Structure 1
Amino acid sequence: MPRTHKTLPRLYVETALRTGVELALDKDQTNHLVNVLRRGPGDQCVVFNGRDGAFLADIVAVGKKLVSLSLIEQSSAQTKANDLWFGFAPIKRLDYEIQKATEMGAGVIQPVITRYVQNPRLNPVKLKAHAIEAAQQCEVLSVPQIAPEIAFEKLLTTWREQHGDRVLIFCDEAAASASPVDTLSKLRGQRLGLLIGPEGGFADEERERLLSSDFVVPISLGPRVLRADTAAVAALALIQAVAGDW
Structure 2
Amino acid sequence: MRDRLGKYESSINTLRLENRSLRYNTLILGEEGSGKTNLACRIRNYAIDNNVPTLYLDFSDPNEDNIELRYKDEYFNYIRFDESKSFKEELAKLIAEKKHIYMSVNSNYFSNKRDIKSELTQTLQMQELLDNYYYFFHDIENLNGFYTKFEDFLLYMLGFLNLKKYGFTFLTQPHRIFENPQLKLLFTFLYLGKCSSLESFNTAKLKRLPKNRFFYQYRTDYHTLLFNDIKSNEVQIDEYIFEE
Name the TM-score class by shorter chain: under 0.3
Higher relative contact order (CA 8 A, sep 6+): 2
Bigger radius of gyration: 1
Normalized against structure 1, the TM-score is what? Answer: 0.28
